């Protein structure tokens, strides 16, 4: 997957560099590593795994050779992810486990947190950037970080189902928190962002709960 990511962006870059093209690149907040939160676009990237390293390499390839570009470092995107299996976000994994009575693995006390951003907000912002030719590097999150325990409580409350939690140790290099500084994004994108509660409600309606 990491090699495919770099190859894909390299191919796009090769096509776009000598043409009048505007490229919008979805990158990842994982490039920041376990930095002090919240992270701004000025935070020095320190990837802690190959996925994050590939995302950072892709950014540098594109921005070096394509003048017209927008790069988004996306935080914990989520939506209706029934089709994604093990590649789903924590929201998708937790919803699936709770709905189906499966064991839900939680790292430690569940205090790790993520900045969850709804998929429709992500797509709207990226399309808007392309339409308006909004150049630069932007964090794409909500600026709000929610713990795993808080997320599970929300899902339990909305579904009326109880999570079967198994507590395990976090893997080495696991990021304890992500939270976006979105001052730069909010300088041009003014629409309300979908709250986590609103996003969960939309997903549950889509799956008939």
Amino acid 2: pLDDT: 81
- Provide φ and ψ at 146, rounded to 5°: -120, 130
Amino acid 171: pLDDT: 87
Which residues are 27's β-sheet partners? 73
Cis peptide before 59 (omega within 30 of 0): no
pTM of the predicted model as reported, rounded to 2 decimal places: 0.94
Asked if 138 contacts 71 with a C-beta cutoff of 8 angstroms, the reply is: yes
Sequence spans of domains, the chain: 2-206
Fold annotation for 2-206: Rossmann fold (3.40.50)
pLDDT in tens, 146-179: 999 999 999 999 999 999 999 999 888 788 999 9
Q: Per the residue annotation, which of 51, 67, 78, 118 is the catalytic one?
A: 51
Angle at 74 between CA 68 and CA 77, to 5 degrees: 135
User: What is the rounded distance in angstroms from the CA atom of residue 193 to the CA atom of residue 65?
Assistant: 32
pLDDT in tens, 2-48: 889 999 999 999 999 888 899 999 999 999 998 999 999 999 999 99
Predicted confidence band of residue 1 (pLDDT cuts 50, 70, 90): low
Bigger pLDDT: 49 vs 138:
138
Amino acid 99: pLDDT: 86
Q: Is 51 one of the catalytic residues?
A: yes
Give me the sign of the Cα torsion angle 147, 152, 157, 159: positive
């Amino acid at each position: 997957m990491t090699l495919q990511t770099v190859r894909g962006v390299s191919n796009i870059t090769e096509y776009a560099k000598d043409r009048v093209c505007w490229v919008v690149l979805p990158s990842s907040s994982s490039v920041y590593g376990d930095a002090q939160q919240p992270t701004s676009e000025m935070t020095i990237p320190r990837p802690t795994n190959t996925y994050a390293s590939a995302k950072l390499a892709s950014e540098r390839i594109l921005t070096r050779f394509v003048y017209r570009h927008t790069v988004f470092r996306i935080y914990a995107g989520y939506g209706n992810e029934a089709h994604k299996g093990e590649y789903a976000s924590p929201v998708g994994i937790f919803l699936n486990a709770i709905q189906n009575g499966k064991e839900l693995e939680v790292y430690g006390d569940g205090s790790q947190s993520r900045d969850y951003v709804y998929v429709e907000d992500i797509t709207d912002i990226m399309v808007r950037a392309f339409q308006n030719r909004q150049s630069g590097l932007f964090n794409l999150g909500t600026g709000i970080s929610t713990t795993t325990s808080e997320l599970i409580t929300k899902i339990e409350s909305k579904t009326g189902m109880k999570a079967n939690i198994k507590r395990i140790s976090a893997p080495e290099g696991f990021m304890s928190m992500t939270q976006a500084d979105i001052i730069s994004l909010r300088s041009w994108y003014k629409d309300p962002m979908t709250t986590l509660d609103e996003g969960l409600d939309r997903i549950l309606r889509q799956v008939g709960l």
